[in-house]
Structure 1
Amino acid sequence: MRIVLVGPPGAGKGTQAAYLAKNLSIPHISTGDLFRANISQGTDLGKEAKSYMDAGNLVPDSVTIAMAEDRMDQPDAEGGFLLDGFPRNIGQAEALDAYLKGKGVKLDAVLDLEVPEDEVVKRIAGRRICRNDSSHVFHVDYHKPKTEGVCDLCGGDLYQREDDREDTVRKRLEVYHTETEPIIDHYKAQDLVVTIPALGKVDEVTQRAMAALDKA
């Protein structure tokens, strides 16, 4: 299957993508992973992307598209893939359409993870990260540490990242509504969109998504 996963920040796209890709035996292609891999491997695309990032500029769509296409051309993606974070805007969606048409294949579904905006803000703004190890993540409501402000795992200080502050989260949501949300209508016109309520436990959301894909 060839699937695109969309949804606002905090919808759980990364978590669901990993579970779905495993269940469907297809590669999970994440934009973040693509950037990190190309930069760490020193590819031409990675060097180009890094030059923009080091200058504090956005990486052009052309570079992101080229990275995604290169990854989709790999042998493990011949039978399908799950795209997470790409396409991010209409230009990228149109480029993906053209790429797939050139390969003589089509998307099977676009999964839209639907989460109320207030819940998104609550999820992200409530995160607390350990200063000693960023993989130690807690939440003021959903995963409280035993001692407030102290990591259960190593005793490090817990803090709120700048990106997780409520005002920053709301700005990120504005960007999502302006730039990314329009691709949902783009794919609705192709009768590909399946909306998945993303509230609840991770496995419950995964089961909804798998059931929706079975119907699709």
Structure 2
Amino acid sequence: MINIVLFGPPGSGKGTQAQHLIEKFNLKQISTGDLFRYNMKNDTELGKLAKSYIDKGELVPDQVTIDMLIDELKKPTETNGFIFDGFPRTATQTDALENIVKEELNTDISICLSLVVEDEVLVQRLLKRGETSGRTDDSNEEIIRNRIKEYYTKTAEVAELYKQQGKYVEVNGIGEISEISNKLFAEVEKIQK
């Protein structure tokens, strides 16, 4: 089983590359953003709980996110593993994910793939995306820079933990999409041997 933690700042191409990894290795992507939207839209108990925090402008506690993740992993699926996107973001969440994967899937996180792109390139990509996506957070340079800064601040400790485990790999996220995909594929294939 292949379990990938996929990192990349906003605009790094993470969404595109996740799709290529899914197709190549028959993986299922678990995005915490998607889990929140699904649970709130379907009015699940966890969705109602998450919404109660969000409506007050508070962060949803880790345990609510973790419970959503466990529910998702328990669903039957015919895949070769998972891509975790948007989780973990802290050392505490990293430990939680390690435990969940061990308990629910009887395996480990295989690798943490991190797409690396210079900040200026990210800003230009997001501004360009903002012209067509309609996303307001992609059309304001100040907000974009803040999102990028926040990403690095939040993920630094998680990257460090995976580095200590020898599971952290940085891949240059600039170039042709297929070239970047092939670099990611090569890293995953190394761990399969």
**Normalised TM-score (structure 1):** 0.80
Which 4+ stretches in 1 moved above 4 angstroms? none
DSSP 3-state at the match of 2:130: strand
Which residue pairs with 2:117 in the alignment? 115
DSSP 3-state at the match of 2:96: helix
Sequence identity percentage = 40
Is contact 2:41–2:47 with CA below 8 Å preserved after alignment?
yes
Q: Which runs of 5+ in 1 are unaligned?
A: 130-135, 138-158
DSSP 3-state at the match of 2:60: coil
Which residue pairs with 1:61 in the alignment? 62
Q: Which of 1 and 2 has greater Rg?
A: 1
Asked if 1:5 corresponds to 2:6, the answer is yes
Query: What are the superposed Cα offsets for residues 56-95 of structure 1, whole Å, 9 maximum, x if unpaired?
Result: 2221211112111221222217741111111122211111
Aligned length: 189
Letter in 2 for 1:180: T
Query: What are the superposed Cα offsets for residues 102-130 of structure 1, whole Å, 9 maximum, x if unpaired?
Result: 3431111110111111111111123334x
Is contact 2:110–2:167 with CA below 8 Å preserved after alignment?
yes
Letter in 2 for 1:120: L
Query: What are the superposed Cα offsets for residues 162-201 of structure 1, whole Å, 9 maximum, x if unpaired?
Result: 4531111111122112212221111111111121111112
**Normalised TM-score (structure 2):** 0.89
Which residue pairs with 1:20 in the alignment? 21
Is contact 1:86–1:92 with CA below 8 Å preserved after alignment?
yes
Distance 1:57 1:164, change over 3 A: farther
Distance 1:101 1:27 in 2: 17
Q: Which runs of 5+ in 2 are unaligned?
A: none
Between 192-201 and 96-105, the greater mean CA deviation after superposition = 96-105
Q: CA RMSD in A?
A: 1.8
Distance 1:215 1:101 in 2: 21
Q: How does 1:19-38 map to 2 (within 5 A)?
A: 19-38=20-39
